[in-house]
């Protein structure tokens, strides 16, 4: 169990680290980098591919996710009589 003093120390350390990171980022020098339109296109393709992977994984595992969620929120009765879960 965490007492109040340990919590204060944790909050202080987290705040101090956040301030140090922000100060370090604010004093950075210019990179003089050029991002051409091809780079933006690759970033956009990566984002779209990531979304599609999540959608595909969700589609593959949808029945497992659905049965897990229904068992989490169902009452104490048996789910063998539920036609939605056992519709395979």
Using one digit for the tens of pLDDT, what is the confidence trace for 34-60?
878 898 899 999 999 999 999 998 888
Classify residue 17: in a domain, yes or no.
yes
Classify residue 19: in a domain, yes or no.
yes
* pLDDT given for residue 53 in this prediction: 93
**pTM of the predicted model, to two decimals?**
0.40
Classify residue 12: in a domain, yes or no.
yes
**What's the number of domains the chain is made of?**
1
Q: What is the pLDDT of residues 5-41, one digit of tens each?
A: 888 888 888 898 999 988 888 887 777 778 788 988 9
Spatial contact of 79 and 85, defined as CB atoms under 8 Å apart: yes
Classify residue 35: in a domain, yes or no.
no
Classify residue 61: in a domain, yes or no.
yes
Handedness of CA 54, 58, 61, 66 (dihedral sign): positive
CA atoms within 13 A on the CB side of 24: 6
Classify residue 73: in a domain, yes or no.
yes
DSSP structure string for 4-67? HHHHHHHHHHHHHHHHHHHHHHHTPPP------HHHHHHHHHHHHHHHHHHHHHHHHTHHHHHH
For residue 83, what is the DSSP state?
A: T
């Amino acid at each position: 169990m965490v007492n109040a003093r340990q919590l204060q120390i944790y909050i202080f350390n987290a705040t101090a680290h956040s301030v140090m990171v922000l100060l370090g980022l604010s004093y950075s020098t210019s990179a003089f980098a050029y991002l051409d339109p091809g780079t933006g296109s690759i970033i956009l393709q990566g984002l779209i591919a990531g979304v599609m992977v999540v959608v595909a994984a969700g589609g593959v595992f949808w029945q497992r996710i659905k049965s897990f969620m229904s068992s989490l929120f169902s009452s104490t009765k048996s789910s063998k009589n539920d036609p939605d879960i056992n519709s395979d």
